[in-house]
Amino acid sequence: MSELQALIDEARALGEGGVPRPGPAEAEVSRVMEICNACRYCEGFCAVFPAMTRRLAFAAADVHYLANLCHNCGACLHACQYAPPHEFGVNVPQAMARVRVRTYAAHAWPAAFGSAYARNGLVVALALAAGLALFLALALVRHGSWWGAPAQGSFYAIFPHGLMVSMFLPVFAFAVFALGVGVRRFWRGAPPGRVEGPALAEATHDALRLKYLDGGHGEGCHNEDDRWTQSRRWFHHLTFHGFLLCFASTSVATVYHYGFGWVAPYGWASLPKLLGVAGGLGLIVGPAGLAWLRLRRHPAHGDAAQAPMDAGFLALLFIVSATGLLLALLRQTPALPLLLCAHLGAVMAFFLTMPYGKFAHGVYRGAALLKWAVEKRLPTNLRLGGE
């Protein structure tokens, strides 16, 4: 990981709009893409290969773009005539995965925080511990105990609404800003052209549907072997759309609070609760399923070194949703203060690590999909014969 550190140091020096200097990971993608570009059998699987065919050489910016366009579905690995044990040793998903983590680290803002990717499992664990400690301490100060129900099971009796907003809002705003800075630099590394409505619509559709986990024929992607399965796509849908529902729940609750003066807790039939419970269930089943699939994953898929990052992120999502749902169920019990501390601590850890953990993959993937949607609409200047 000293290589990753060098990348981060360099990114810090580069400042705005830089493209990370290629290291061995980028060189490997470049090597592999030159083999793939001479073969092209996998063109039907996803966007990576059609994007590749628009190029003859693969500079660092192209490599980072293609790496983030790759969804690690495994289709091109199992279909590859040049995969190990072939001497060409082509493993596109693995090469791409190794570059992706460098994309996140190199574009992290502030640059020094990119080093969080070097030991991401540890970072997530520390963030969680810090979040828990913070709220446990606060609860002691404000409530005097971690056990015992306040009146009507009100959270605000323990942590007033204003206090929570003043803690979460700046952290969340910072996370969004930091990710924004990073993805802006990523975009500027190789700007494809003007973004227009149809491209934006297509990229949104492809991201929300996880189009490139469908194998090109709609039958899904690979997990433990060369059989197609929809399981990863469905568990990811549950995770991602669960996350969106939870976000919607919080947004609606905010409108209720400030717009209408309707103060939580809300009833089971209320919109924030319905959205939150549905999203929370998705965020329990989804990450659990993804973690289970990750354990059964073919060893040649992706980058084994990133397993702690993936596991940390999934575990954090699971803890956030599990504590959230428990809180809704056990609000009237003496466990409320403890559960509230656990939930808020986990949410704080999630917000803190958003720009410095696996969450970033969604942002860069989305940007890469948008780049592709823009790029594919432009004419190519290559005329490779046969056309």
Partner 1 sequence: MSILLDRPDVLVIGGGNAALCAALVAREGGASVLLLEAATPAWRGGNSMHTRNIRCMHDAPQDVLTEAYPEEEFWQDLRKVTAGRTDEALARLVIRESHHVRGWMRRHGVRFQPSLSGTLHLSRTNAFFMGGGKALVNAYYRSAQDMGVQVRYEAPVRRLELDGSRFVAAVLDSGERITARTCVVASGGFESNLGWLREAWGRNERGEWPAEQFLIRGTRYNQGVLLRDLLDQGADAIGDATQAHMVAIDARAPLYDGGICTRVDAVSLGIMVNREGQRFYDEGEDFWPKRYAIWGRLVALQPGQVGHSIIDAKAVGRFMPPVFRGEQADTLEALARQLKLPTQPFLETVRAFNAACRPGRFDHAVLDDCVTEGLTPPKTHWARPIDTPPFFGYTLRPGVTFTYLGVRVDERARVHFGGEPSPNLLAAGEVMAGNVLGQGYTAGVGMTIGTVFGRIAGAQALQALKEARSDHRLVPAGTASMAETSDV
Residues that bind partner 1 (CB under 8 A): 34-35, 37-45, 50, 53, 56, 75-76, 78-82, 84-88, 216-217, 219, 226-227, 381-387
Strand locations in 53-126, DSSP E? none
Nearest residue (CB) to partner 1, 69 versus 132: 69
Nearest residue (CB) to partner 1, 78 versus 273: 78
Q: How far is the CB of 220 from partner 1 (least distance, A)?
A: 12
**C-alpha to C-alpha distance for 37 and 307, rounded to whole angstroms:** 29
**Secondary structure of residue 73 in the 3-state scheme:** coil
Q: What are phi and psi of 4, to 5 degrees?
A: -60, -40
The amino acid sitting at 357 is: G
Q: What are phi and psi of 332, to 5 degrees?
A: -85, 5
Nearest residue (CB) to partner 1, 57 versus 151: 57
Nearest residue (CB) to partner 1, 86 versus 296: 86
**C-alpha to C-alpha distance for 21 and 328, rounded to whole angstroms:** 49
Q: How far is the CB of 65 from partner 1 (least distance, A)?
A: 18
**DSSP letter at 256?**
I
**DSSP letter at 223?**
S
Q: How far is the CB of 201 from partner 1 (least distance, A)?
A: 23
Q: How far is the CB of 210 from partner 1 (least distance, A)?
A: 18
Question: From residue 105, how far is each of 6, 100, 310, 365 by CA, in Å?
Answer: 11, 9, 15, 14
Q: How far is the CB of 22 from partner 1 (least distance, A)?
A: 17
Q: How far is the CB of 212 from partner 1 (least distance, A)?
A: 14
Among 80, 107, 117, residue whose Cα is nearest residue 95 = 80
**C-alpha to C-alpha distance for 344 and 271, rounded to whole angstroms:** 21
Nearest residue (CB) to partner 1, 82 versus 234: 82
Nearest residue (CB) to partner 1, 93 versus 355: 93
